[in-house]
């Protein structure tokens, strides 16, 4: 039995390479209300991500500076609190994330926390076999990052549903 509601709302965002942040042709995917209420939402998300091929979850927040990963895709589940997050670099877009939301960030897409509630708790993870680097949004990193991003494999499964949809249906190259 799944502990993930099947009636969550999906949003997608695309960000262009701006010469500083490579971003990715793959869309960033937000699942609104994908994490049900529960006694320990954080532990449940860690188990869900691991079961769906995104193991070794961590608990923390979101860095307050633009950064991206050129060697891994990333999933962030908001277990508690809320955050305003800038996605895609300075030329990108700001979105609000709240408890129960999940965002899957393709390799190369910059993200930074602009504001957060005092109780923010984020559960993050990466697809099995992918190990993230941390790249600052600086022009000198851009070209090296492009080569790394181009060879990052698609995950085996969606971190929320464990299947091919909705993430991989949107990410097929």
Q: What is the pLDDT of residue 1?
A: 34
Which residue in the block uniquely carries the two structure tokens 């999906």? 10
Please provide the distance, in angstroms rounded to a whole number, between the alpha carbons at the two ends of the chain.
31
CA pair distance 171, 173, nearest whole angstrom: 6
* Position 39 pLDDT exceeds 90: no
* Position 107 pLDDT exceeds 90: yes
> CATH topology for 9-155?
Jelly Rolls (2.60.120)
Q: Structure pTM?
A: 0.94
* Position 65 pLDDT exceeds 90: yes
pLDDT confidence of 36, banded at 50, 70, 90? confident
165 DSSP 8-state letter: T
User: In 3-state terms, the chain is what percent helix, strand and coil (to 5)?
Assistant: 15, 35, 50
* Position 38 pLDDT exceeds 90: no
* Average pLDDT of the residues in 101-122: 98
Average pLDDT taken over every residue of the chain: 93
Q: What is the pLDDT of residue 122?
A: 97
Are the beta carbons of 139 and 105 closer than 8 angstroms? no
pLDDT confidence of 173, banded at 50, 70, 90? low
- Smallest CA-to-CA distance from 105 within 137, 146, 75 is with 75
* Position 6 pLDDT exceeds 80: no
More confident call, 34 vs 122: 122
């Amino acid at each position: 039995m799944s502990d993930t509601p099947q009636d969550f709302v999906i949003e997608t965002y695309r960000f262009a390479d701006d010469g500083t942040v490579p971003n990715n042709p793959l869309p960033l995917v937000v699942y609104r209300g994908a994490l049900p209420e529960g006694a320990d939402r954080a532990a449940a998300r860690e188990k869900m991500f691991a079961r769906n091929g995104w193991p070794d979850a961590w608990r923390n927040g979101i860095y307050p500076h633009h950064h991206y990963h050129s060697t891994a895709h990333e999933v962030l589940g908001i277990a508690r609190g809320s955050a305003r997050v800038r996605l895609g670099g300075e030329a990108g877009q700001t979105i609000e994330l709240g408890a129960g939301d999940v965002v899957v960030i393709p390799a190369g897409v910059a993200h930074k926390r602009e504001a957060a509630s005092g109780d923010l708790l984020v559960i993050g993870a990466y697809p099995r076999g992918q190990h993230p680097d941390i790249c600052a949004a600086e022009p000198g990193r851009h070209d090296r990052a492009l080569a790394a991003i181009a060879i990052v494999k698609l995950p085996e499964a969606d971190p929320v549903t464990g299947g091919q949809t909705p993430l991989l249906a949107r990410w097929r190259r």
